[in-house]
Amino acid sequence: MDSTCVITIDGPAGAGTSTLARALAASLGWSFLDTGALYRALALAVSERGLEGASPGELAALALRLEISVSLGPDVSRVALGGRDVTALLRSPEISSLASALAAVPEARESLRAIQRRLGERGRLVAEGRDQGTAIFPEARLKFFLTASPEARAARRAKELRERGVDSPFGTVLAEMLARDRNDMTRKADPLREALDAVRVDSTSLTLEEALALMTARAREVFGVMVAGAAQGAGP
């Protein structure tokens, strides 16, 4: 697998990985892959079928049956299930919580791994998630680990929810975020961890523009003239 022309951005929930990955891809003229959307798509399929209590084997079988496709662009990863665009349905707190639980199931992770790697083979890709630099693209030439304090991350997520019309108290958002951190970091299958060769970016006191400038500068140092020309296309 050739993942040398891939930039990975990993980090805990609310650290800004999606926002900065999207902005970095646009800045470089590359494609953006929101890998969390794949798990949310699986979570949506599970929810719609009432299979929340399914066994790991049943979840894996469902994932293998699903026709999941991804259309890549510099600012969005559009996800379709069976040809139905479900991108707009993937960001509710309920689907996010279920996606986090499914991400702890090894069989579910394995079923989605091949999709991510096939997308990476196209090159010129910014991939964001929890295990991109450690499990999916370990040979990527540039890896970022983006983090921030729990309080800063919770404040950002609460603001994001309010902008979507969801009034969730800060304390509730913080508690849910800390619980998700524990789930992501302690799961047996590909837990959230910082790759040894990752560039650590703490965005607690950085603006989006400052963090993006730092990451763009590093990308240009590593890839030089290769930062021009996005790879477009549909999913696997």
CATH number for the domain harbouring residue 91: 3.40.50.300
Cα distance between residue 158 and residue 174, in whole Å: 9
In a domain, 175, yes or no: yes
Which residue reads 């969730």 in tokens?
168
In a domain, 27, yes or no: yes
List per-residue pLDDT tens for the chain, 236 residues long. 455 699 999 999 889 998 999 999 999 999 999 888 899 999 999 999 999 888 888 888 888 888 888 888 777 778 999 899 999 999 888 898 898 888 888 888 888 888 899 889 888 999 999 899 999 999 999 999 999 999 999 998 898 888 888 888 999 999 989 988 988 888 888 889 999 999 999 999 999 999 999 999 999 999 985 555 444 333 44
In a domain, 1, yes or no: no
- Ramachandran category for residue 22: left, alpha or beta (phi over 0 → left; psi -120 to 50 → alpha): alpha
Identify the pLDDT of residue 226: 59
- Is 11:129 a contact under the CB 8 Å cutoff? no
Number of independent structural domains in the chain: 1
In a domain, 233, yes or no: no
In a domain, 235, yes or no: no
Helix axes 17-28, 208-223, angle to 10 degrees: 50
In a domain, 40, yes or no: yes
Give the global pTM: 0.82
Domain range for 16 is: 6-227
In a domain, 183, yes or no: yes
Identify the pLDDT of residue 193: 93
In a domain, 234, yes or no: no
